[in-house]
Every structure is written in C-alpha cells, then in structure tokens.
Amino acid sequence: MGSRQSRGFTLIELMSAMSIVAILSGMAIWQVQRTVPAYRAADAAAHFIGDMRNASSIAARINEPVRLTVSTDGTGACKTSWKLEATRDGRIFDSVCLDTEYPGVTLVQDHEEIACKEELDRGIPPLPTCSLCNGGSVLFLPSGEARAATGEPPGDSLVFAPANDPRHNIRAVGVRTGSGRVRTYREQGGAWICP
C-alpha cells in the first residue's frame, strides 16, 4: 500500500492563513486608533488636575500666590496651553502645550454645567461648563484657597475630549472658589459622575 506523506502547507492554506491575519490586524489597528485619543483626553485631564494640586502645594511652600493660566490664543503648533507661575517673580513651574503633548485632544464648551449627583445631593452648586476654555486663570493662595477666573463662586473648569469623538470619553477638571478643592469628572450617559 502506498502512503502519501505530508510535507508542509499548500499554497491555498498559506493564503487563507495570511488573509485571516491581515483582517485581524486591520481590525486591531482600527480599534487602537479609536481608543488612543480617549486615553489621551483622560491623561490630559490628569495632568491638568495634577498641576492644579501642585499650584496649591507650591503656593504654600514658597508662601506666595501661584497662578495657573490657560491660554487658547497661541500661534503655530501650540494654540492651547497652560502654565504654572509664581505671581511675584514670574518663575514658571510647569508649561504644557495641549496640541503637541496630547495630540487628538480638544476642549469642549457646549456641555451642561458640571456637578455629579453626590455634589448636587449635598447642595453644592454646579461649576460653569469649561469656563477656562477661552483662556483665563486660577490663583492659588498660600492658605490653600483658590480664586477663580470668573471671580465668583462656584469656580472654574476645563473639559477635555477626544477630537475624533467629542461626545464620548469626556473628562472635566474643576476647582472650587474659596476652598481650592479640585476634582475630576467623567461624563457618562449624559450626566457627570465623580470617579
């Protein structure tokens, strides 16, 4: 009896396997391209809240006010930025260009006021939506207090979203006038939640 020995794959088997790998790779690349901007928006919000907390700490340490200034009228590659600086001598502690450090992230102004259920239940008024989106500053005092750009309670906020999908993965950072309390918010199902 003659037996036939198998010595590898046929051309059709190899082409089928390569087609499956190509399709799966294409789907993976598409999904990564959709999710990376969402992570960048969350990272930009985390950096901004970190700078707000640093401003409060630095003000207490050097015993002078520290200003966090948001600028949205830049030129060239950096149209939107923020910086931390001492008010007396102008020392800059951090400077961030949103456009180059977090590409694919945009500021969102057309959203409802910012407050999570927990805050509303305690009678805390909502923050104005993206009051720093057109530029402005927050002054952090050595006492731990903050003075918002609007000059009035309840405070200021900045809202970040992926530019390719500005209705999903929205993050906001808010600061309360007076207490200087900073907090992040996440939009979910049309309402803000406090993670």
CATH number of the domain at 68, please: 3.55.40.10
Q: Does a structural domain hold residue 6?
A: no
Q: Does a structural domain hold residue 22?
A: yes
State pTM to two decimals.
Answer: 0.80
In the chain, how many domains are there?
1
State the chain's mean pLDDT as an integer: 87
Whole-angstrom distance, CA of residue 20 vs CA of residue 52: 48
Using one digit for the tens of pLDDT, what is the confidence trace for 39-96? 888 999 999 999 999 999 999 999 999 999 999 988 888 999 999 999 999 999 999 9
Task: Tell me which long-range contacts 108-114 makes (C-beta under 8 A, separation of at least 24).
Answer: 108/133, 108/159, 108/160, 108/161, 108/166, 108/170, 109/133, 109/134, 109/159, 111/159, 111/170, 111/172, 111/187, 112/192, 114/157, 114/159, 114/172, 114/174, 114/185, 114/192
